[in-house]
Amino acid sequence: MPIASLTELYAYWCGHSYEAINNLWGRDSAISGSQGTFVSSASDGGVAWSTTWTWRGAPNNVKSFPYAGRQFSRGKKIAGIQGMPTCVEWDYTGDLKGMRANVAYDIFTATDPQHANSGGDFELMIWLGRYGDVCPIGSSAGCVKVAGRNWDLWVGYNGQMKVYSFLPPAGAGAIKSFSADVREFFRYLEECHQFPASQQNLIVFQAGTECFTGGPATFTCSRFSADVIDAECQ
């Protein structure tokens, strides 16, 4: 039995410095569908969870982004963070034919440390899986190497928020077991895209799946762990 069953809009769970939410923020664009998110286990070492969904209509609109995230104290500037180690193991099962979805880390930063956690000044996404012809915001800025892997970097804007999305190169396939220090992605952005690390506070550090249309499908995250290590603690 799951330790938490989240079936309502924005239903929320937290424990062991982690959180999970049934984030159905775009469900009103669907003509039909539903989604439930379930936390199966949690410890100080990470959380395991899953989400099952079916959505129809408005194929280019995101219906939901259920996620698990690491909790941390606000007011951590990116420049003051030494490391953001994380790992995730996941899979998708069910009716995947015609499914449109992605699997991604989603990390917001803002100059205001108390900025709402639904956005920020900057957004860093690390796509680990891509189903259907869904695309990130913006356009490709070329191939880059970060954290020991090659990525196709996309850059664009979601309103006033600048979005950097790192995708596996075309034909590379999904990354279903991923381990890295996310701070390396910010270091790359500092060096190559003038990301203002000394001004930007970390707002959220989370990973989940953006669901557009398809299903019934189940995303299972057998492990998600993350940490935020302050530079002065080294």
**157 burial via Cβ count (<10 Å: 0-12, 13-18, 19+):** exposed
- Which is nearest to 117 in space by CA: 227, 230, 224, 19? 19
Angle (CA) 167-224-228 rounded to 5° is: 85
Residue 232 is among the residues annotated as catalytic for this protein? no
The span from the CA of 217 to the CA of 114, in Å, is: 35
Told to judge if 123 belongs to the known catalytic residues of this protein, a careful annotator would answer yes
Q: Which of 123, 184, 190, 191 is catalytic?
A: 123
If one counts every other C-beta atom within 10 angstroms of the C-beta of residue 225, the result is: 18
- Count other C-beta atoms under 10 Å from residue 40's C-beta: 15
Residue 227: C-alpha distances to residues 75, 148, 167, 208 (Å): 15, 19, 22, 16
Catalytic annotation, pick one of 184, 191, 210, 232: 210
Q: State the catalytic residues.
A: 123, 210
